[in-house]
A and B are shown apart, each in its own frame.
Chain A
């Protein structure tokens, strides 16, 4: 069965610190997609990244970077030089197969608090 585990419930850092959010997934499919979403206090869910199971290349986007390792079934998210605006709940999600309408399976989320 598919499952997404975000073991870190809450993380608190001070501005400019680097922080890594962990995500471990379980799936029996060989084709799947992994996602990260950000949910700021306003409640809206903001898409950050999508990765397919055949592409293990790490990705960097500004202060954000993602490390995908199939060997450990992990898809970790690092924020470099964190800022107060990064404070939010971050969700990792999985969708199996690649037919239209595949549901997203979400982890429980990690609440990141960045203080100035």
Chain B
């Protein structure tokens, strides 16, 4: 089965800084997504990372705060900008299209703490 990795696995950041999270899949996929899971909460979709074009953001999420790149079919980055303590969450990437299927599989997540 395909491997989905995220870097970093966790980080502690200062208020006002930014963190870039990488998601790498070891095989090509059609779709990549970014989710946020706030402490003790469920998962909320931030955006769909589109290869070669701008990401599609969900209501409540904007590009200035969460810029996303997807330069190819196996890699995407999510940047969380101008960090505040409210951004402390687990950020997960998911992929769809492994082996031609349409189930979303998730990476291990990045646990962000903002001081």
**Interface residues, chain A, with chain B CB atoms under 8 Å away:** 33, 35, 37, 42-47, 50, 91, 95, 98, 100-101, 103-104, 106-109
Contact = CB atoms under 8 A, between A and B. Distances in A.
B73 to A, nearest CB: 13
B58 to A, nearest CB: 7
A47 B103 contact: yes
Contacts of B108: 42-44
B92 A101 contact: no
Nearest to A108: B42
Nearest to A45: B106
Interface of B: 30-31, 33, 41-45, 48, 58, 90, 92, 94, 96-97, 102-109, 111
What secondary structure prevails in chain B residues at the interface with A? strand
Nearest to B107: A44
Nearest to B111: A43
22 contacts: A35-B104, A37-B106, A43-B90, A43-B109, A44-B108, A44-B109, A45-B92, A45-B109, A47-B106, A91-B43, A100-B30, A100-B31, A100-B96, A101-B33, A101-B48, A103-B33, A103-B45, A103-B58, A104-B43, A106-B42, A106-B43, A107-B42
